[in-house]
Structure 1
Amino acid sequence: MQGRRAVLGVSVTMASYLVSRAINLSVTIILARSLGPSEMGILAFALLAVEIFDFLRDFGLRETLIYDRTEDPRLRTTAFAMIMGVGLMQSAALLIFAPFAHGLVDDPVIVPVLMWMAVLFPINALGSVQDALLQRGFRFSALALAEVLGVATKAAVAISLILYGAGIWSIVIGMLCGAAVRVSIVWLASDWRPHGPSPTWEKARELFRYGRHIIASSIVNVVQMRVDQMVIVATVGDTALGIYYVAARIPEIVILGVNGVITKVVFPAFSNLSHDAEKLVAAYRTTIAASMTLIAPIGLGLAASSALVVHVVFGAEWDAAAPVLLFLVLSGIPATIGWSSGDIFKATGKPQYLWILMTIETIAVIPPILIVAKVSGDITSVAAVMFFGEIFAATIRLLTLSKVSGIPVSATLGASVRPLAAALLMALAVYLFIQFNPLGLAPGLLVVAMILLGAVVYAGTLAVIDRENLAYWYHTVFGERE
């Protein structure tokens, strides 16, 4: 029953994610076509700054509330007070930093943009406890509704203002409106309110004991995930950052984002199974197989068609983003293989291993990125370093998982190999189809035909080499196995 709830949770959450990210991608495309590389570089810097200052979001307490076994109301009121305090501190820190940002970006508009974006932190903090409790209770429909309506609001406001000629301010105002709508909906969906027992230092210490490891992971994660963009803006410039950002948006939305959605469901599911090693390993293997079934065709398909996709979707002025996209989507494959190990560590009360591993991964990748960016000034080379960094990260995560949790490397690789094989065959078919274009299709129609061909080849190959996995998912979603 737990497995079925998790799968249904993934289905609902994934559906909402696909809808919301399709909307986000549409906004990115409209912005890229209307702003150009220079202004997109300013926007990319602003979003990067917000993400850097957001490393303390929730103070690691949301995961603590999901992991909590006591359901103590004092724990929740204490968490709410702490999260709001952190949100206000983040806002103040970004306000202080904003005037200095003009030293990194030539356009002075970056200062007021950052000042208004600082409002995002307390808005998001208002809904963190409700979000955690809805996730803990597997109420993914409510979370999905909040996510979709929040993103739809952001898109509607941003696109309207883009048409009005508001430029970069369109996305700033859209983000604030979308965040407010999302928080309002999770408040309406949750029956918890910040009242009752007063916050206590005892509960704060209890929350921090678990949460400090999540905080450490968050800090390292920001550096690890954004070190490439930080180095590019510092060494190559904000226009180059704009090109890199546009290329990075696709894998962030369709690969890393999908992994994040799966984490929202499997982390509470893994936590509930942490007392039963056999069931936990089975759930982990199922998660890896599902992740790779989704991610492998997306990553390898986009790698095979990166030049065509960038040209058709963003326009000729963005063609320089194509080789960057190729390496970044390929990075999603090893990233997915190592992703769920972190959920196992957190679910079994060992979150310290996650941030320690992430620290090692980050330390290993920073020197080569700095050297490559400084010597070559080539953003494609930076993306290539990120790809090899993900391979290294996946390797040490699986080795650590095997040693700490007793889940052998073969369990992860065995669950990944068939989806990868099917995706490789699909990518080859797509690449050859694009190169020869036997039907003489225009670029736009070629993209549509490529997607259809890839879907047929991938699904057909899986039906031949991975029938058991397909049958499992069919029976899990539509009925119990006999």
Structure 2
Amino acid sequence: MPDEDLPDALSDGGSADAGTDQARNLGDAAARGVSVVLATQALRVALQFGSVVLLARLLTPEDFGLVAMVTAVIGIAEIIRDAGLSSAAVQAAQLSEDERTNLFWANLGLGTACALVIVASEPLIVAGYGEPRIGPIIYSLAFVFMISGANTQYRSDMMRRLKFRQLSTSELSAQFLAIVTAVSLALAGAGLWAIVAQQIVTAAATFLINVANLRWNPGLPKRGVSLRRFFRFGFGVLGTHGLAYLTKSAANVAIGAHLGPAPLGLFNRAYQLLMTPLQQIDAPMTSVALPVLSRVQDDDERFSRYLAKTQLVACYGTSVLLAVAAGVAHPLVLVLFGPDWIGVVPIFVVLAIGGIFRTLSTIAYWIFLARGRTGAQLRMDLFARPVMIALMVGGLPWGVTGVAVGHGIAFFLYWLLAFVNVQRVTGVDVRPLFVTAVRTATLVSAPCGLVAWGLASWLHVWPFFEVVAGVLGAGVYLLLAAAMLPIVRHDLVEAVRIGRRALKR
């Protein structure tokens, strides 16, 4: 096979080491991983959007707000039960069977401990909100963390072995089953318990399917097998993820405590409308990027090339998507949720703009993880995250939209700080990444969003056609920009080329 035909969706096909077996195998694995992600995530996004739309039309903002009150507080247990050990297992150059077994028991123990602490804390959480209706929700969701703890190393093992197809299939199947359960319960009049059941079924089904696929019996814990190196790595990830979660949950807790469940329900739907595409793109792409980047962490040339290609796809994918979504927010909310949820519009517009920078900062996260510098990221976040929380909570006097504005400003500043710090700590030159991001935002994302907003606002027809007109207008602008601006044409062709190479696998 000629070098230029190397099926590496993230390479440029002309590197000097492309002919080696290692490069060929890794390129194939990366391409297969990206291909699986692209194929399955389209289905996951459709399912998740279907869930968001159907449940929003069957339930009330207060239903979502009450559940969000609980998850904003107890959700930190999801970070603790993982303790960064999933990433540590994927990143490790060598992992013995005994270490793998002990990691399983460590995550299960952490998940069980989290469940017991949550149950014991129920009176404090109820008293803190002054809302007795959330007590049964706390008890019901607590033991989800035991299931997730048991699943942690099954999922990590499939990531480590680059079994992206099996991993995607299990998560897609579990999501489908959970959505069917939730919608059925909502139609039966179960109210907020439809949302609770969706979370329980997702965790349980994912675990059972992963066990069936992997056919791994961890056995009993192994004495004399140390996990110190994994906990050392995981501590930085735990701290970073914990601070990120506190940043997210602080807004929910503040809104729920000061404004009540109904405003929190509006914020929650706007946030879910933002995070549905982001979670279905960012998390799986991390599952592909982390093991691949970890294997080339000592090859600066290939490492930088993979980063550049991945970010280009993100800029022409996620960033443009969010900008256009913000532009057509008003008719989009009417189509998806109906007129009762019109209060979501200004919140979503601001969150979507901030979400662009949230996505771009993920690149820095990948670099920290792949280079094993989780401690450095934690030290950065110990300074940055409290400032971000202050910016979000500081918007409370202006209501839910004020909190959303603080959210957007916080993630813009975090993106700048993360890029500066990751270059200082790891030595990776991020200037090309920064230039690409700024160029795409000014020449592509922002104009596409403005064109979509202009057309959607100008038309006064059925909201669905306003959304379609806005999206088509943004597409026409993108084609004109590619025709008139060589740099945009080059970037767009490169992004399409990477996607096509991935799909061929």
Residue among 352, 366, 389 paired with 1:343: 366
CA displacement 1:178-217 (0-9 Å, x = unmatched): 3222111111222432027x43465222321211111111
Partner residue in 1 for 2:463: 443
Change (3 A) 1:181 1:252: same
**How many Å apart are 1:452 and its aligned residue?**
3.3
| 2:434 is equivalent to residue 410 of structure 1 | no
CA-to-aligned-CA distance 1:315-354 (integer Å, 9 cap, x gap): 2222122111111100111112221111111111111122
In structure 1, distance between residues paired with 2:126 and 2:65: 13
Instruction: State the 1:228 CA deviation.
Output: 1.4
- Mapped to 2, the partners of 1:365 and 1:127 lie a distance apart of 32
Give the 3-state SS of the residue equivalent to 1:282 in structure 2. helix
1:352 corresponds to which of 375, 381, 384: 375
Contact 1:419 1:462 (8 Å CA) reproduced: no
Where in structure 2 are the equivalents of 1:148-297 lying within 5 Å?
148-195=172-219, 198-200=221-223, 202-297=225-320
Equivalent residue letter for 2:454? L
Conserved 8 A contact 2:388-2:411: no
Greater shift, 186-195 or 112-121, is seen at: 186-195
What is the aligned partner in structure 2 of residue 325 from structure 1? 348
Counterpart of 2:86 (choices 62, 76, 80) is 62
**One-letter amino acid of the counterpart of residue 444, structure 2:** A
Letter in 1 for 2:326: A
Task: Measure the CA separation in 2 of the matches of 1:194 and 1:462.
Answer: 53
1:398 aligned to 2:419?
yes
* Separation in 2, partners of 1:427, 1:361: 29
Structure 1 residues 462 and 249: alpha-carbon distance in aligned structure 2, compared to 1, 3 A threshold: farther
* Matching residue of 2:19: none
Give the Å deviation of 1:355: 1.7
TM-score (norm 1): 0.92
Cα distance in 1, alignment partners of residues 498 and 63 from structure 2: 47
Question: Which residue does the alignment assign to 2:474?
Answer: 454
SS in 2 for 1:56: helix
Q: Is the 8 A contact 2:122 2:138 kept in 1?
A: yes
Give the % identical residues: 22
Residues 71 and 204 (structure 1), Cα distance of their counterparts in 2 relative to 1, 3 Å cut: closer
Q: Distance in 1 between matches of 2:391 and 2:445?
A: 30
Structure 1, 227-236 or 59-68: larger mean CA deviation: 227-236
Query: Hey, what's the Cα distance between the residues in 1 that align with 2:51 and 2:121?
Result: 27
The one-letter amino acid of 2:330's match is A
Partner Cα separation in structure 2 for residue 283 and residue 350 of structure 1: 18
Aligned residues of 1:235 and 1:377 also touching (Cα < 8 A) = no
Q: 2:111 maps to what in 1?
A: 87
Number of equivalenced pairs: 476
Is contact 2:347-2:404 (8 Å) kept?
A: yes
The Cα RMSD (Å) is 2.2
Matched residue, 2:451 = 429
The answer on whether the counterparts of 2:452 and 2:469 sit within 8 Å (CA) in structure 1 is no
Cα gap change, 1:18 to 1:43, in 2 (>3 Å): farther
3-state secondary structure, aligned to 1:70: coil
Q: Distance in 2 between matches of 1:309 and 1:176?
A: 29
In structure 1, how many angstroms separate the alpha carbons of the residues matched to 2:125 and 2:489?
54
**Residues 20, 430 of structure 1: alpha-carbon distance in 2 compared, 3 angstrom cutoff:** same
CA contact (8 A) 1:430 1:453 kept: yes
TM-score relative to the length of structure 2: 0.88
- What is the CA deviation profile of residues 128-164 of structure 1, one whole-angstrom value per residue up to 9, with x for unaligned ones? 1111111111111101100110000001111111111
Asked if structure 2 preserves the Cα contact closer than 8 Å seen for 1:295 and 1:332, the reply is no
Q: Distance in 2 between matches of 1:15 and 1:119?
A: 32
In the alignment, the residues of structure 2 paired with residue 45 and residue 319 of structure 1 have an alpha-carbon distance, to the nearest angstrom, of 21
1:84–1:125 CA contact under 8 A, matched in 2:
yes
Per the TM alignment, residue 475 of structure 1 is displaced from its structure 2 partner at its CA by: 4.8
Describe the SS at the equivalent of 2:60. helix
Aligned to 1:316: 339
Q: Secondary structure at the match of 2:206?
A: helix
Cα separation, 2, equivalents of 1:106 and 1:15: 45
2:406 is the counterpart of 1:382: no
Aligned to 1:44: 68
CA distance in 1, matches of 2:214, 2:162: 12
Query: Which structure 1 residue ranges, 5 or more long, are not aligned?
Result: none
Task: Please give the alpha-carbon distance, in whole angstroms, between the structure 2 residues aligned to 1:318 and 1:140.
Answer: 37
Instruction: Give the drift of 1:292.
Output: 1.1
**Counterpart position of 1:113:** 137
